Amino acid sequence: MSLAFGGVAIGGPLLAFSPKTKKNLELLIAELPNAEVRNEDFWGFVKQAYSSSGSLLNLNNGGVSPQPKVVQESFIEYYKLFNQAPSYYMWRIMTKEIEGVRQKVAEFSGVNADEIAFNRNTTEGLDTIIHGLNLSKGDEVVIGNFDYPNMRQAWNQRVLRDGIDLKIVQLQLPMNDEDEMVQAYVGRFSKKTKYVLLTHVINWTGQVLPVKRIAEEANKRGISVIVDAAHSFAHLDFKVSDFNADYLGTSLHKWLCAPFGTGMIYVRKGKISELWPSFSPPDPRSDDIRKFENLGTRNIGAELSIGKALDFHELIGSQRKAERLLYLRNYWIQQAQDIDGFQSFSPNNPDLSCALATVDIKGVEKLGQQLQAKYNIHTTDIHHEGVDGVRITPNVYTSLKDLDRLVAAFRSIASKRSKSQE
């Protein structure tokens, strides 16, 4: 049922696909052969659902992804509605609608709705968790050398403030052996270890961590598990419940393609009351997950449009999307292998790989700047723990022709380098 406020229907058109878009996608999905990941007609239609540039090739979707047009339209319609009477529509009417979105996201994640809280991004979510934990001097926390800087900085602040001990797992990426990674973490566990932070997809290289297996080892030892799912949620095909973790944070404006500045945390129900919120509600020891949403005035329209983004994601399908993203990564990597000086910092094992890949061409300086200035290809530079290159991140709207353009640019750059060395 739809409700109309100020001439705008809420709960119907804003939370569902346009009939034409949905019908066309469903027809294409029904007609797909088994090798649907290679059906360029289908993915060409998906591309048209985005308002991507016709000239700039965006291959930094890992930083933040664009939204499908249907999500943009949803956000704009909410924005228009709220501007008719902000405090009335945002606070008295539409805050109730967020509960429907919460339930939807929770079902997708395989957890209960009273374990999901919305916020702005992974950093805010995981920092809320890290700073809210009860830790004392001498307590140990295990983290990795490739964890995201904002998380490591939060833990370092706890070291300064509380005297906790950080144990750093030294990974040597890329790694293609699951057992080796599991043992790298288990080898840092001790009787003093209280928490372990596991980055599901490492942002620097696209390395996938065997989180489920490491979490199982942590659970055996009574160690609480925190998962950084910034780059894996709605990218890889999994449920939050698969990990048996106690805490998880992610950004919904990355792979779910929700509005900018939307994220969420998962906190296991039994852990909510003992986790301190960053912005204190009336009862900071409450077991109500909403205590982590005590943020004052915030972007309600963006949060409501998360439901639209999830509709779009589920219409494609989690497995189909994950397989397509890996296919795109492998497509261009395989073509680039024979380029003189080409080097990849990402794993070859398909079970430990994803859309992200970081590469370099030996002897080429400022590769990312050249791609941008000379070929109008947008990437991001990576410099961390011996990994020096550019990260290439396609998304579902990226075509094979786009990736051919990338490989051609690499070949051109490598050729010019060779000629300059003659």
Q: What is the CATH number of the domain that holds 396?
A: 3.90.1150.10
Q: How confident is the model at residue 27 (pLDDT cuts 50, 70, 90)?
A: low
d(CA 161, CA 157): 6
pLDDT of 91: 87
Could you tell me if 149 and 249 lie in one domain? yes
Q: How confident is the model at residue 13 (pLDDT cuts 50, 70, 90)?
A: very low
Extract the tokens encoding 375: 């070929």
Q: For residue range 108-134, list pLDDT tens digits in order.
A: 999 999 999 999 999 999 999 999 999
Number of folded domains in the chain? Answer: 3
Would residue 99 count as lying in a domain?
no
What mean pLDDT, rounded, does the chain reach? Answer: 92
Q: Which of 251, 272, 304 is the last residue of a domain?
A: 304
Could you tell me if 129 and 275 lie in one domain? yes
Instruction: Provide, for the chain, the percentages of residues in helix, strand and coil under a 3-state DSSP scheme, each rounded to the nearest 5.
Output: 45, 15, 35
| Segments forming the whole domain that contains residue 214 | 109-304
Indicate if the pLDDT at residue 357 is higher than 60. Answer: yes
Could you tell me if 137 and 195 lie in one domain? yes
Q: Which of 45, 40, 12 is nearest to 27 (CA)?
A: 45
Q: For residue range 366-390, list pLDDT tens digits in order.
A: 999 999 999 999 999 999 999 999 9
3-class SS at 118?
Answer: strand
Q: Which of 105, 111, 108, 155 is nearest to 129 (CA)?
A: 155
Q: What's the pTM?
A: 0.92
Q: How confident is the model at residue 417 (pLDDT cuts 50, 70, 90)?
A: confident
Answer for the pair 57, 66: CB distance below 8 angstroms, yes or no. Answer: no
Could you tell me if 276 and 170 lie in one domain? yes
Could you tell me if 202 and 251 lie in one domain? yes
pLDDT of 35: 43
pLDDT of 343: 96
Could you tell me if 278 and 161 lie in one domain? yes
